[in-house]
Amino acid sequence: MHPTTDAFLVHLADLGLSAASLAAYRTELLRQERLLTGLGQSWETAGTSTLLHAVAAGNRAPVTRRRAQHLIGRFLAFAGLPQGPEWRRLPAPRAVCPAPDCLSEAEEKALRKTLAKRVDQPTHARDRALFCLLLDTGLRVSEAAALTVGDVDRDGRRVRVTAKGGKRRSRFLPTETRDLLAGIAGTRDLEAPLFVSSTGGALTDRQIRRLLSRWAQLAGLQRSVHPHLLRHTFATSLLKKTGNLRLVQLALDHESPKTTAIYAHVADEELRTAIEGRRD
C-alpha cells in the first residue's frame, strides 16, 4: 500500500465520511495499486493513460468508473503526485444511472403478510418491526442497525437516526410501525440496541441481510431481496403517491437532488400512463 493511502483515508474520515464509504474507498485504492503493480507501474510512474486503463479494467460500468476516477483524482492531489492537476481536467465517464429496482406492490404485500402471520418465535416480532421500519421509512440498513431504544420518541411518532457523516435526523413513523417498535422496545434501557441479536448485542448489517433473504424466501419471492431494495421500494412508492421528488430527497436524506433523480423514471411512467388514459 502506498504510504500516503492511510493518511488520505484519515483525511476523508475527518471530513465526515462514513465507515462504509471509507472501506469502499480503501478497497478501490488497493485495487488500483494491484493493477498498476501488474503493469509494472506505481502511482508515481503511471501516466494518465495507464491510470485510465486501470480504472476501466474489468469492463466496469460508467458510473463505477466515474466514482473511481473522482476518488483517484482526490488521492493524487492529496499525495502531491504530478498527475493530479492533469487528472482533474479529464472529462468524467458518462454515467447512465439505471432505474432502481424495487419490490412490486404484490411482492411487498406478500412480504408484509408473511411477517405478520409468523409469530411462533420471539425474534419474529423483532424481524417484523425491523423490515416494516425499512419499508416505511427508507432507512439505510446501517442506520437501522445502529438504533437504540432511546432513539424512538416517547410518543412513538418519530425515530432519531444517525445518518451519513454522523448527522442526526428524525423520521416520521406510520401508526402500525410505531406499535411494532413499541412492542419490541418494551421497558428496556434507553441505551440498549433496538434490534437485538441472539447473543444480546445489536444486529449487524450482515445479519439483517441474511434475515431479510430468509423472509423473502418464506414469502415466496423468486429473486434476491436485500435491505437497499426496501429503501428503493419506499422511495418509489412515496414518489408515486406524491409526485414530488423534493419530498423523496428529504425522506432519503440525499444531499443533492441529482442523487434522487434516479427515481424520476417513476414520475415519467406515471405521466405517460396518465396521458395515454386521459381520453378513456
User: Which residues are catalytically annotated?
Assistant: 140, 164, 228, 231, 254, 263
SS3 string, the chain, reads: CCCCHHHHHHHHHHCCCCHHHHHHHHHHHHHHHHHHHHCCCCCCCCCHHHHHHHHHCCCCCHHHHHHHHHHHHHHHHHHCCCHHHHHHCCCCCCCCCCCCCCCCHHHHHHHHHHHHHCCCCHHHHHHHHHHHHHHHHCCCHHHHHCCEHHHECCCCCEEEEECHHHCEEEEECCHHHHHHHHHHHCCCCCCCECCECCCCCECCHHHHHHHHHHHHHHCCCCCCCCHHHHHHHHHHHHHHHHCCHHHHHHHHCCCCHHHHHHHHHHHHHHHHHHHHCCCC
